[in-house]
Structure 1
Amino acid sequence: MRRWLFNIHLVIKLPSGVYLENLIDDLRAFSWEAYETLIYYSKIVKDSNNKSNILKNDNLDDPVTKADLKVNEVIIKRINEKYKDINWEILSEENVKLTSESCNNNADWIWVLDPLDGTKDFIQGTGNYAMHLALNYKNKPYIGIVLIPDKDELWITDGEKVWGEKKDGSKIKPNLSTNKSLKDMSLVTSKNHRNEIIKKLIQKIDFYKVITMGSIGCKIASIIRGESDIYISLSLMGKSSPKDWDFAAPEAILKTAGGVITNLDNQELIYGKSNFEQGGIIVASSNINTHKDICTEIKEIIKKYDIYPLRIN
């Protein structure tokens, strides 16, 4: 696995004029600037009796805050300022919401930005929110950033290795668990997006432990730290699904660390679709070597108890 990652790192060449070490240094600086913005607004939320002060829309199912928009502005501005003549696109959740125009999905290099993943948790003051920033190459996550301000934590992958950093520069090593059976795993699942079907699946699997938190970035970071082992995303038919910006950066850091994110058929996620959706059942686990068997076991449980309509291959 490590050899494969190393070879990919050698094969992929960044756009002309972009140097990996400098790019990572810039992304680190951009991220800690976003950290200051998110911490500033999170204090306003915690200190205010009227949280509507930071809301920019009235959609409680899909809220947008001043923090979302400010971080969106900062990150895009910094990328464009530092790399004026580089031929890459920027796909941002907030830009998609604000305008019908989007980036060129066929571009080789696309930044995928979620300035505030876990907005509901941010408003609720739980601390389970993150910023996601990935650089996709040919619609595959390559470089990834997951910033978790409440933990003073920044996860980075340069495509070859992954590490965490504190604001003081101290490092955090990944600590993924390995070789656990499904029932011995600790599941991390959504707090604000759970539904009866995923609840039933969790009950039937009977995990060793179930942890609830917001933000996919926070969930994947918990797997990388070794606090949990598996995350399952299950989208209901006809309902909203996670999007590219929810998964790109978390996938980049988890895959480089030795874990994996796929659909239930153990197929890689497809980025760059016209609707940006990552629907159906998605499984993230800590061990690429056991992931296929884990997916198969989950599928068998779903079939046995008729929990969710599965595609027939």
Structure 2
Amino acid sequence: MIKLPSGVDINNLIDDIRIFSWQAADILLYYSKLLEDSDGKRNILKNNNVNDPVTVADLKVNELIIKRINEKYKNINWDILSEENVKISSKGFDSKTDWIWVLDPLDGTKDFIQGTGNYAMHLALNFKQKTYIGFVLIPNKNQLWITDGKKTWCEKRDGTRYKPNLLKKNNLQEMTLVTSKNHGNEILKNLIQKINFRKVEIMGSIGCKIASIIRGDSDIYICLSLPGKSSPKDWDFAAPESILKAAGGAVTNLDNQELTYGQTSFQQSGVIVATSNKDTHGSICLQIKKIIEDNAIYPL
């Protein structure tokens, strides 16, 4: 059984992060509203990188969450790995502790800018390079997904709770796939066509995609990184994996191996598969791997 660092109670911690998360929601919804105006968009964008934009909202939420954790939990033996801090720091991130918070203050920044509502805040507490507890906040849906490491549930701002509703399908052709629209990936498109899913839903943010699986709106998500190109990072997957795994689903690489965090450049490369059923996940990975190999779609 995993024990939290000395002085930290799991229930109090979840209560605190719940409060911090809804404060973050206020920031994200405020700037989302400002983005509806073209002048607002110019003021909110902090860089001109079309492929990796940063907004004032990213930075404000980043500052809020880190400040709140550090204020509430002084002298606790954990570190905080944040996407925004990695981008701006020249020192890198070198942790000597088993406990690491992994934060993406705004996952789905392109969708946030485009006004689709498919954006999320990710926050996970990892132990020894594996996910333990996690939070995925989807402000536009008034949803905060939480796992205490054993179970997953969703809360609305008024405290209303509801449980996961994972579907249990075994056949790829009967499944609804949720995939990205902001990443032009012809190899992945080819794989999707070969599998011939029942339905394909387009959605931003990995957190939003994984939440759609937990809600029962979709069955599977496939992430395929192109060789030599950028890959998702730890902060993209840590919180989403934590909530799906505790709900009864799974997130692994194509060889059905659990993701490991804190590796070189925080990369999560290759082919990653998320499904709604941990019991059949391995066989689903095998089916996908066979389709890739038989059609020479991707170098394995």
TM-score (norm 2): 0.98
1:139 aligned onto 2:129: yes
* Structure 1 vs Structure 2 CA RMSD: 0.9
SS of 2:294's equivalent?
A: helix
1:64: which partner in 2?
A: 54
Q: CA deviation at 1:50?
A: 5.4
2:286: which partner in 1?
A: 296
Contact 2:86 2:93 in 1 (8 A): no
1:151: which partner in 2?
A: 141
SS of 1:46's equivalent?
A: coil
Contact 1:223 1:285 in 2 (8 A): yes
2:108: which partner in 1?
A: 118
2:225: which partner in 1?
A: 235
Q: CA deviation at 1:131?
A: 0.1
Q: What is the one-letter code of the residue matched to 1:117? A: D
1:37 aligned onto 2:36: no
Aligned with 1:181 (options 171, 192, 198)? 171
2:247: which partner in 1?
A: 257
1:225: which partner in 2?
A: 215
Q: What is the one-letter code of the residue matched to 2:274? A: A
Distance in 2, matches of 1:228 and 1:106, equals 38
Q: What is the one-letter code of the residue matched to 1:249? A: A
Contact 2:181 2:204 in 1 (8 A): yes
Unmatched segments (≥5 aa) in structure 1? 1-10
- 1:232–1:194 Cα change, 3 Å: farther
2:89: which partner in 1?
A: 99
Q: How does 1:274-293 map to 2 (within 5 A)?
A: 274-293=264-283
Q: CA deviation at 1:23?
A: 0.2
Q: CA deviation at 1:193?
A: 1.3
Distance in 1, matches of 2:255 and 2:170, equals 20
Unmatched segments (≥5 aa) in structure 2? none
1:308 aligned onto 2:298: yes
Q: What is the one-letter code of the residue matched to 2:75? A: D
Deviates more, 1:46-55 or 1:241-250: 46-55
Number of residues paired by the alignment? 300
Distance in 1, matches of 2:169 and 2:182, equals 30
2:154: which partner in 1?
A: 164
- Shift >4 Å, 4+ stretches: none
Q: What is the one-letter code of the residue matched to 2:15? A: D
Q: CA deviation at 1:44?
A: 0.3
Distance in 1, matches of 2:113 and 2:43, equals 11
Q: Deviations over 1:217-261 (max 9, x none)?
A: 000000000000000000001110000000000000000000000
1:4: which partner in 2?
A: none
Contact 2:176 2:198 in 1 (8 A): yes
Distance in 1, matches of 2:68 and 2:91, equals 21
Contact 1:189 1:213 in 2 (8 A): yes
Distance in 2, matches of 1:139 and 1:174, equals 25
1:271 aligned onto 2:261: yes
Deviates more, 1:63-72 or 1:176-185: 176-185
1:13: which partner in 2?
A: 3
Q: CA deviation at 1:133?
A: 0.1
Contact 2:178 2:201 in 1 (8 A): yes
Q: What is the one-letter code of the residue matched to 2:257? A: Q
- 1:105–1:266 Cα change, 3 Å: farther
SS of 2:4's equivalent?
A: coil
